[in-house]
Structure 1
């Protein structure tokens, strides 16, 4: 009989989307987000929540469902604010122009419905 390793799969998904988005958040911390705050005001600082705090929570498996929802909304806002012109576009390499953001969104939505799995810091709260 083949054993399903769903919890390991959820861990890999959490590491993938949380870890990779964290690079974007750290880059904004290191280089500043003045380009966002100049155009969006105080709301520009919400990027830190969506690209640093939510990915960290996803990585750790702490309140994964709510963190994934925040993460997905952050990506949707990024599309609306910075990539709206690419919604129906193909990249120069033949792929969907927004494929990375869509992978982030769909991965976050999957985690919203499944939770973090058993390899997580917290597993007993309804938002885990």
Structure 2
């Protein structure tokens, strides 16, 4: 019974696809929101930290372009690293003090950003697998 179940569930390429789709699509909602409502808040946070506001446009790369590439399975590893870097920047801008806190429901204060960050790293190490719009594995 266990061997049958293990054989049934042994689908690493499907697992990679599910991981890519889940985190990429959820992140694209964040990017879409910024596309519709603007990035003035992000630009304000950047300028408060002494950085130029135009850097805020990079959020579109990290929250729309990189996740779209990950969904399609194109340059998955570099896109996933950009995805994770975006989460690192978000963490540093929003609340670096949250790393030592718990929320009202007992969650780690930096949990939401950390989940995306580590998912991006996992995708970078795993790659796209065979489910990609690119046939050439060098482009996956």
TM-score above 0.5: yes
- Determine if the alignment matches structure 1 residue 38 to structure 2 residue 44: yes
* Candidates 73, 79, 85, aligned match of 1:73: 85
Deviation digits for residues 92-111 of structure 1, max 9, x if unmatched? 10011221211111111111
Which portions of structure 1, spanning 4 or more consecutive aligned residues, are displaced by more than 4 angstroms? none
In the TM superposition, residue 127 of structure 1 has moved relative to its aligned partner by: 5.8
The corresponding residue for 1:89 is: 101
Separation in structure 2 between the aligned mates of residue 17 and residue 106 of structure 1, nearest angstrom: 11
Contact 1:25 1:52 in 2 (8 A): yes
- Note the residue ranges of structure 1 that are not aligned, 5 or more in a row: none
Asked whether 1:60 is paired with 2:72, we answer yes
Corresponding residue SS for 2:100: coil
Q: Which residue of 1 aligns with 2:28?
A: 22
- Structure whose residues are more often helix by fraction: 2
Number of corresponding residues: 128
Task: Note the residue ranges of structure 2 that are not aligned, 5 or more in a row.
Answer: 47-52
- Measure the CA separation in 1 of the matches of 2:95 and 2:71: 26
| 1:9 maps onto 2:15 in alignment | yes
Q: Which has the larger radius of gyration?
A: 2
Cα RMSD (Å) of the superposition? 1.4
Alignment TM-score, normalising by the size of structure 2:
0.85
- Whether 1:112 and 2:114 are equivalent positions in the alignment is no
Higher relative contact order (CA 8 A, sep 6+): 1
Distance across 1 between alignment mates of 2:139 and 2:112: 25
Distance 1:78 1:9 in 2: 27
Contact residue 117 and residue 123 of structure 1 kept, 8 A: no
